[in-house]
Structure 1
Amino acid sequence: MRFKVNLLALLLAYQSAAHPHDTFSVDHRRNAEHDINPKEQVIVWVDRAGHTISIEHKHQTPTTTYKNSPTELPLLPNTDNIVPDNIIPDNLLPNLPTEVPGLNTNPDSRFGISYSPYTSYGTCKTFDQINQDIEHLRHHAFIRIYGIDCDQTKLVTQAAKQHGIKVFAGVFDLQNFPDSLHYIRDAATAAGGDWSIFHTIAIGNELVNKGQNNPADVANAVNTARDILRGAGYQGPVVTVDTFSVMLQHPELCAASDYCAANCHAFFDNNQLPETAGEYAIDKARRISAAAGGKKTIITESGWPHAGQPNGRAVPSPENQKKAIASLRKAFADDPDLVLFTAFDDLWKSDNQWTFGAERFWGIQDTGRERERDRE
C-alpha cells in the first residue's frame, strides 16, 4: 500500500486516526490523491493496519496524478525482517472446525439407543450374537439395557468395551434388591474394575407407572443403591426411570436421582404426528426439569413404531418412523440428552390394550437381520 504525500500532508496525517485492516499486506495499493504544489515528495509504505514499514524522500517536479490514471510504482522494500505488531497470538485464535479423516459424523453418534439381548423367541442371546449387535450399534454414544437376567450386564458391557461405547445399565425392578446390584458389580470386575464403562445405573423402569411400587419406596431404593455403588467404586449417575407423566406428578423421584430420567413417546398421544415427535419429547423434558427446580432431564426412551394400529393421528408406518426419528434428532441436536427406542424389533413381546398392536415393532435398525440370526 503506498501513499504519496508532501511533508505538510504527512504531518497532518499524524493527527488523524488510522484505519485498521484485518490482515497484513504490502500488496494492496491505494491510488495517489491530486497533488497541487509539492516541494518534497514523501512515499510512506504501510501495512493494512496503518503501521509504517518505510519512508522514502524524493525531490521531483510536481505532477498531477488522478486516481484513475496509471502510475509507475517503485519497487517494494525488502520486508523479510519486518515483524508486524498486529499478529494475533496462536493461543487467542478461534478454534475453527477442521475436517478429520475417519471422524464419526453419524447423526446418532451423540445419542444413546436402547437394546434388549433376547432372540425373537424370548431366549437369551449368546455373547457372539450380542457382540454382533453392539458392533452394529457402535456409532451411538451408549447402549441402554434394562435388567440383569441372561447375564446381560456382563455380556453387554464386555461387548461395549470392545467397541468403545458406554452402557446405561440397571435393575428392572426391586425384586431381590439390593442383592441384584451384585450383577452390576460383577460386570465392572469383568471389565477390569473399570466403572467408567457405565454411563448411568438405573434402579427400576416405570415402577410407579405400572403400580409395582410407590414413589417413596423407589426413592429409597435409589438412595440405597447409590450408597452401595459408591462404596464399590462407581461415581457416575444413579437414577430411577419412569414415564414423563409420573415424573411430573412425583418430583421426589427426580430429587432422589442424579438427574431426571423419563420415557416419552409422542405416539401414545393421539393428537401427535411423527413430525412433532422431537418437539413433543423436548417440551416434556423442559417441563420435568422446571418441576424439579431446574435439574437436568434425559429422555431415556423415545421413538415411533413402524407397524401396528393407528392411535388417532399417530399412525405407525416405516415412513412415519423415519420422520419421527428425524424429528427427535433435530430437536435434541444441541442438547443430546436422548435415548432412541429401540435398536431392533422386540418380537418376543406381547401386546395389550394400550400398545395398539405395535409393541413388537419399534426397532429402528434392520429387523430382517435379527430374524435371520435367530435361525442360525
Structure 2
Amino acid sequence: MKKAIVSTVALLLLLRCTYAALQAQHRHHHNKHHETYRGGELIYQAGAYKDAQRIAQPLLKHHKYDNDDPAAATTITRPVSHHPSPSPDRKILLAKPAHDGLQKTSAEKPLSPVTSGVDDDDYYRYHPHPKHSSSSSSSPPADYSDEDDLPPIGPLTPNTNQWAIVYYPYTAASSCKPASTIRSDIASISAHGFTTIRLHASDCNALQTVGSAALLHSMRMIVGIHIDEDTGIDELAHAQVDELIGWATSFQISSPLSSTNRTTSSSSSSSSSSNGWSLIELLTIGEETIYNTPSPSPQAYAHSLATFIHSTRLRLRRAGYAGPITTTEPIPTFYEHREILCPALDIPASNIHPFFVETVTAGDAGAYVAHALSILSEICDGIPGPRRGGGSASWPSSGDDDGDGVRALNLETGWPHKGRANGRARPGEVEQMVAMSGIMKAVGRRSVVLGWGDDGWKDEGEWGVEGGWGCEGLFAGART
C-alpha cells in the first residue's frame, strides 16, 4: 500500500510539468515526411517522388513557429501541432531534479523527486489537460482475445548503456542520401558503440538501404510507421504496413544476425531468422499522434490508434514478426489514455527531452530523464492486458527494470550543441557533453539518442537549435 501511494504521488508530480515545456518539446518535434501510394507504387504527394522513383524530399515545414511560404502552400502538406488550452483551475508542479543527482544516482536507479525548495514562480504552470476525460468515455474496452494464440515476445534486454540512435537518411539540401553515404554513416555509428538505429519513417528507401547497412554490422533497427497528423489513420498508414511486410519477407539474410548485438532474447522466431524481421528490434506506430492530432475527441482518437495497433500486430505476427510494438506520447497524454493504450502496447514509450524544460540544466539532464522514465515504467501497472502467447493477463510483459528487461523506453532524447538558451537550459558543446554523459550513465540502455549528425534540412525553430542535435562528436572524438 505504501509503495502504491508513493508511486501515485510520484506520477502526479511528473504530470506537473510546465505547459511551456510541453509546448516547446512538441514544437521541436520532427518534420514529418508525407508519402502516398498509387497502384501499389510509392509516389510522394508533393512531387518529390517522380514517376514512382524512390527519390524523396522531406518536408521542411512542420510546426506553428515555422515561416509559412504561401508559394509552397499548394505543393506541401504541413502538419500543425494543436496544443490543448490549459484549464485555468489546474495548476501543477514540476519536481525539481537535484543538482548533484548524477553523483548520487547509479545507472538504472533514478532519483526520487525532489520537492523541497521549489520556487512557485519557476515551477508552477498550467498543464495541458485533454478536455475529454477517460472516465467519460462510453466506448467499450477493446477485445484482444484474438491475440491469445500469438507467440509471446521476449523481454527487451539491451546489453549496453549506449543502445540506439536516431538516423535520418536526408542531406542538408533535403534530398535522400546516396546508399554509399548511408553505408558509411552506419559503419561509423556501429564503430562507436551503438547497436540499434531508429528510423522515424521508411521514405528514401530507408528499409532497404539502412537495413542492408545495419546487417553488415550486426545492427538492428527501430522502424516507425508514420501517421499523418492531419489525415490520421488512412490508407497511407496501412500502405506503410504493406511496404514493411513486403520488404521484410523478401529481404534475404544468408546467415542469422549475430547474437552479440541482439537485445531481445526471443522476439524473433527461427522462421524469421533468414529475412528482414530479424533486423527489426522494435516497431513504433505513430509519433505523439494523440497529442498532435486535431481531433474533437482525443479519447475517440486514442481508441482508433489502439485498434490500428491491434490490427497491425495481427498482420505482422502472421507475416513473421514476433517483436514488440509501441507508440510514443508525452507522459501526461499517455497517462490520460493509459487504459486504452496500455493493453494495445507491448511496452510504453515516450520522447523525453530535458532541454525543453527551462528549469533543467545540462547537469540535471540525466536525473530528469531517469525520473521521468521511472514514472513511465509504472504507468501501465494494474491495467488488464491481453494474454498474448497464453501468458499472464497482467501488464506489462516486457520485463523488469531491476531484472534482465526494461518496462519503458525513452525513444528520443538529447541536448543541442548550438542555439539560444531556454531559461537555465543552455545549448553548447560542453553542455551537450555534460547532458549526454548524465543521460547515458543513468538510462542509456533504455534511451534512443538524437541524433548522429546535425539535421540541416530542419527549420531552426524558436531557440535556433533544431539543426544542432548531432552528437557524433561525443562518441567519435571530434565533431565534423
Determine the structure 2 residue equivalent to 1:349.
458
Determine the structure 2 residue equivalent to 1:42.
none
Q: Which moved more, 1:188-197 or 1:223-232?
A: 188-197
Q: How many residue pairs align between the two structures?
A: 260
**Cα distance in 1 between the residues matched to 2:163 and 2:415:** 16
Amino acid at match of 1:130: I
Shift of residue 110, structure 1, vs aligned partner: 3.9
- Higher percent of residues as helix: 2
Query: If you compute each CA radius of gyration, which structure gives the higher value, 1 or 2?
Result: 1
**Cα distance in 1 between the residues matched to 2:380 and 2:436:** 27
Whether the 8 Å contact between 1:218 and 1:240 is mirrored in structure 2 is no
Determine the structure 2 residue equivalent to 1:183.
243
**Cα distance in 2 between the residues matched to 1:328 and 1:144:** 18
Shift of residue 313, structure 1, vs aligned partner: 0.3
**Cα distance in 2 between the residues matched to 1:129 and 1:149:** 16
Amino acid at match of 1:195: W
Determine the structure 1 residue equivalent to 2:174.
122
Shift of residue 249, structure 1, vs aligned partner: 2.8
Unaligned runs of 5+ residues in structure 1 are: 1-106
For the pair 1:329 / 2:475, whether they are aligned, the reply is no
Determine the structure 2 residue equivalent to 1:316.
427
**Cα distance in 2 between the residues matched to 1:313 and 1:322:** 16
Q: Deviations over 1:265-313 (max 9, x none)?
A: 1001000011121111121111122221074101101100011111110
Unaligned runs of 5+ residues in structure 2 are: 1-158, 228-232, 254-274, 296-300, 382-394, 397-406
Determine the structure 1 residue equivalent to 2:292.
210
Other structure's SS at 2:244 match: helix
Other structure's SS at 1:313 match: coil
**Cα distance in 2 between the residues matched to 1:146 and 1:238:** 14
Whether the 8 Å contact between 2:355 and 2:425 is mirrored in structure 1 is yes
Whether the 8 Å contact between 1:108 and 1:329 is mirrored in structure 2 is no
For the pair 1:256 / 2:344, whether they are aligned, the reply is yes
Whether the 8 Å contact between 1:114 and 1:145 is mirrored in structure 2 is yes
Q: 2:449 aligns with which of 331, 340, 344?
A: 340
Shift of residue 258, structure 1, vs aligned partner: 0.7
TM-score norm. by structure 1 comes to 0.65
Shift of residue 341, structure 1, vs aligned partner: 1.1
**Cα distance in 2 between the residues matched to 1:265 and 1:325:** 11
Determine the structure 1 residue equivalent to 2:314.
227
Amino acid at match of 2:459: S
Of the two structures, which has the highest relative contact order with CA contacts closer than 8 Å and spacing of 6 or more?
2
Cα separation, partners in 2 of 1:120 and 1:366, compared to 1, 3 Å: farther
**Cα distance in 2 between the residues matched to 1:221 and 1:351:** 33
Amino acid at match of 2:455: D
Determine the structure 2 residue equivalent to 1:283.
371
Q: 2:329 aligns with which of 231, 237, 242?
A: 242
Whether the 8 Å contact between 2:161 and 2:441 is mirrored in structure 1 is no
**Cα distance in 2 between the residues matched to 1:187 and 1:133:** 22
**Cα distance in 2 between the residues matched to 1:277 and 1:255:** 31
Whether the 8 Å contact between 2:224 and 2:286 is mirrored in structure 1 is yes
Shift of residue 108, structure 1, vs aligned partner: 6.5
Whether the 8 Å contact between 2:363 and 2:435 is mirrored in structure 1 is yes
For the pair 1:365 / 2:472, whether they are aligned, the reply is yes
Shift of residue 350, structure 1, vs aligned partner: 1.1
Determine the structure 1 residue equivalent to 2:353.
265
Determine the structure 1 residue equivalent to 2:256.
none
Whether the 8 Å contact between 1:237 and 1:259 is mirrored in structure 2 is yes
Whether the 8 Å contact between 2:247 and 2:276 is mirrored in structure 1 is no
Cα separation, partners in 2 of 1:233 and 1:146, compared to 1, 3 Å: same
Q: Deviations over 1:308-327 (max 9, x none)?
A: 11111001111100001100
Determine the structure 2 residue equivalent to 1:148.
202
Displaced runs of 4 or more, over 3 A: 107-110
For the pair 1:131 / 2:183, whether they are aligned, the reply is yes
Determine the structure 1 residue equivalent to 2:45.
none
Aligned-residue sequence identity (percent) comes to 28
Amino acid at match of 1:350: D
Q: Which moved more, 1:220-229 or 1:264-273?
A: 220-229
Whether the 8 Å contact between 1:240 and 1:257 is mirrored in structure 2 is yes
Amino acid at match of 2:468: F
**Cα distance in 2 between the residues matched to 1:319 and 1:155:** 34
Amino acid at match of 1:153: L
Cα separation, partners in 2 of 1:108 and 1:121, compared to 1, 3 Å: farther
Whether the 8 Å contact between 1:171 and 1:202 is mirrored in structure 2 is yes
Shift of residue 172, structure 1, vs aligned partner: 1.8
Q: 2:281 aligns with which of 175, 199, 210?
A: 199
Q: 1:157 aligns with which of 185, 204, 211?
A: 211
Amino acid at match of 1:342: G
Determine the structure 2 residue equivalent to 1:15.
none
Shift of residue 141, structure 1, vs aligned partner: 1.8
Q: 1:300 aligns with which of 402, 406, 411?
A: 411
